[in-house]
Structure 1
C-alpha cells in the first residue's frame, strides 16, 4: 500500500545553508514538497510552533542551541512528545547514537548524507506518523460513537426518579444496578405500569456483550413496543417476543429472560421465564429460589413458556439478577454460584436491612476485578 505524503510537512534544522538545500532536494525527490528551514535550535523551536511539522530533520552540532537540547525541549512538551525527530551528525559511533536516542530522537542518519538512505528513513518516519495519526482519529471517532450509543442504551432503562414514582404508586421500593463489561452491553430490564393494581417487570440478558449484544437490546426494546403489556399472561407475552426475536437473531444469538406481573391486590406474582438465573423470593423471613426454567428466547419457534404463580405479600421482596453476579470469579478463582446466592442475600439483609442491594453489591465488588467479564444487572423489588 502506497501512502501519499503530499501533505506532510518537514522542518530541516541545520546551521549550514548548503546542507539545508541539499537535504531539501533529497526530500523533494521523495515526494515531499512542504518544507521549512531553521538555522539553530532556538529558531527550530519557534518554527515547530508555527509550522507544525510532521517530521524534524535535525543537525546535532549547531550554535546558540544544539540539536540535542532542542530535542529535549520538544520532548518535554506533551504536544510534541510523539513528533518524529531524525538526527543527522558527522559522528556515527555508538556513543553519538546513544546521545541522540537518549535526547529523544526517533532515528539517526550519518553525514555525509546518503540520498537513498535519507529519503527512505524520512518516508518511513512520515508514513508511520500518518498511520498512527489516522489510527488515533479513527479511535477518537469510535470512542465518540460508543459514548453516544452508551447514552442511548442507558436511556432504555428506567430512571431512578421514575422508579421512586412507580414505587410510591404501587407500594414498592425498587433498587437497581446496571453495569456493562465494556462500553456497551447485552442486558435490558424495565418496569411496566399495567393498571392501578398490576405492575410488570422484565429482565433480559443477551448472549455475549459489546456491540452485537447491545444491538440486540435495541431490537428487543423495539419489539416490546409492538406487544401490549396491558394483558396479564407472561407466558404468552414471552412467546410473542421469542417468535419475533427468532426472525431477527442470527444463529448462536439468544437471550435469557424473565417477565413477572405483580397483583398488589391479591399479592400474586405471576411470571414466566426463559432460562434466567433463579430469582430470590423473600417472604415473612424465609428465603428461597423460584423456578426459572424455560427455553432461551430466539432459539426455537416451538418454545412454550409456563406461567407460575407465587405469593409476594407486603414486607416481601423479589431479587432479579443477571448471571454475571453468580459467574464472576473472585481473586481466588471461585465464583459465587447459584448455591451461595441465598447466603449472600441473607447477609445483605442482616447487615443493611434498609439497603440490602447496596450492601450486596459493595461486598461483590470488593471481591471481583473490574471491568467485569460480563454485564451485570440487579433489581431488588421490595413491598412496603
Structure 2
C-alpha cells in the first residue's frame, strides 16, 4: 500500500532573489507543490529580516545579490540557534563543483541550477519540506514520550519509601535506614518497601522484576496494588510470599517473573525471619568481639515469583541483635560490568561491605555506592536498588 505524500499546504517558503522575474517564476513553480504561503526579499539583508518576521519552513536563496549575497545570508542564519536547522536551497547560475562546495560550506542544504527546471525545483523543495516535517514530528513525538516517561518515573518513585517516612521508621525502631534506587532507563522494575507491624516488629520487602524499562515498571504498579491485599501480620514470610506469588501468577504475562526477599525483624527477640524467591544473597552482619562485625551471605534460593501456582517457600531465622545490620540489593550490583573488569560477582559482596564500613561506619551505603559507580560502565545495564538496615547499638 503506497504511502500518500505529506501535505505541504501549511508550509511557508521565503524566496530571496534580486530579480523580480525570477521571484515570480519560482513562486509559480512551487505552487505546484501545493504551497501558498510565499514571501519575498530582494537581498540577503532583507532576507534575514523576512526570516524573523515570516518564519519560513524553507528559504530559496539566490547566491549573487547586492547589499548582502546569499552565501553571507546563509552564514548569518547558521550563527543563530533559532535558524541553524532552517532548510536553505541555493539557486545559482554556476553549476561547477567549486560553486556547489561554496554553497554547502556556507550552510546550504541543497541547490538548484539556473535556468530553473520546474520538475527538479518542485522535487527538491518537496524533499526539504517533507524532511523538515518528519523531523519536526519526530521531535514532537520524542518530547511527548519524554514528558510522559518523566511523569511515570515520578509515579514510580512515589511507590518507594520517601526520606521522611524512612526517618520516622528509623527513629521509632532504633534503626539506621539508608537506600539507593537507580533505574537503567527512565523506568525500572525494582521495588522495595518497609512496613511497621507493631511496636517491636517490622517487615521489609525487595522485589526485582525481570527486565527493565516500561514493561518492568508496569509490573511494579501491578505489585503495588496487590501488597495491601495480603496483610503481613500473623503470617510467616513464606506464607506471605506464597500468597503474593499466586496473585502475580494470575496477572503477569507469560515469561515475566520476579525475584523477591521478604523478611520480618522482631526486635523483642533480636530475630530476622525471612523467605526468598531467588533474590541475590543478602548480607547479614552481627557484632563480633573487639568491636568488629561478623559478615556473611544468607541463602536466598527459591523459585521466582509468578511462574507456578505450586511454588512453596521456606522460612529462615537468624539473630540480628543491636549493632547488627542487613544489606539487601538487586542483581545489578553483582552483574553490571566495570569499565576495566567484569562484574564483581556475588562472593565479593561481603568484602565490598567491609570496605564500606571502614569508610563510614554509620552510613556505609554511601561509600559502597561511590565505589560501585566509580568502577561501573554507565549507563547501567539493569536497575539498581540497595537498602541498608542497621540496629543501633
TM-score (structure 2 length as normaliser): 0.97
**Residue 328 (structure 1) aligned to one of 333, 336, 357:** 336
Structure 1 gap ranges (5+) = none
- Gaps in structure 2 of 5+ consecutive residues: 288-292
Match of 1:345 among 336, 339, 353: 353
Alignment of 1:136-215 (within 5 A): 136-215=139-218
Deviation at 1:334, TM superposition (A): 1.4
The match for 2:382 is: 374
1:133 aligns with 2:141: no
Compare 169-178 and 354-363 and name the one that shifted more: 354-363
Match of 2:303 among 292, 295, 308: 295
What is the root-mean-square deviation of aligned Cα atoms in Å? 0.8
Residue equivalent to 1:19? 22
CA offsets 1:78-105 (integer angstroms, 9 cap, x no match): 1111111000000110111111000000
Out of 115-124 and 233-242, give the one that drifted further: 233-242
Whether the 8 Å contact between 1:273 and 1:305 is mirrored in structure 2 is: yes
> C-alpha separation between the residues in 2 aligned to 1:35 and 1:213?
50
Other-structure match for 1:5:
8
Query: Displacement of 1:230 after TM fit?
Result: 2.6
CA distance in 2, matches of 1:225, 1:341: 33
Q: Does 1:44 align with 2:47?
A: yes
Superposed displacement of residue 320, structure 1:
0.2
Superimposed CA distance per residue, residues 352-382 of structure 1 (whole angstroms, 9 cap, x where no aligned partner): 2122111111111110122111000000000
Conserved 8 A contact 2:340-2:375:
no
Structure 1 segments (4+ residues) deviating >6 Å: none
In the alignment, which residue of structure 2 is the partner of 1:114? 117
The alpha-carbon deviation at position 306 of structure 1 amounts to 1.0
- In the other structure, the counterpart of 1:75 is 78
Q: Is the 8 A contact 1:232 1:261 kept in 2?
A: no
Contact 1:11–1:35, Cα closer than 8 Å, also in 2: yes
2:290 corresponds to: none
Instruction: Provide, for residues 59-117 of structure 1, a one-character-per-residue CA deviation record: whole Å limited to 9, x for no partner.
Output: 00111111001100100011111111000000110111111000000001100000000
Q: Tell me the number of residue pairs that the alignment of Structure 1 and Structure 2 aligns.
A: 384
1:66 aligns with one of 65, 69, 86:
69
SS in 2 for 1:4: coil
CA contact 2:75–2:106 (8 Å) conserved in 1: yes
CA distance in 1, matches of 2:100, 2:355: 64
1:305 corresponds to which of 310, 313, 330: 313
Deviation sequence 1:196-222 (CA, Å, 0-9, x none) = 111000000000000000000010011
Q: State the distance in 2 between where 1:141 and 1:267 align.
A: 51
Structure 2 Cα separation of the partners of residues 81 and 229 of structure 1: 60
TM-score, length-normalised on structure 1? 0.99
Q: Given that residues 97 and 108 in structure 1 are in contact (C-alpha distance below 8 angstroms), is that contact kept between their aligned partners in structure 2? A: yes
- How many Å separate the matches in 1 of 2:186 and 2:296? 34
Cα distance in 2, alignment partners of residues 152 and 352 from structure 1: 32
Q: CA deviation at 1:251?
A: 1.3
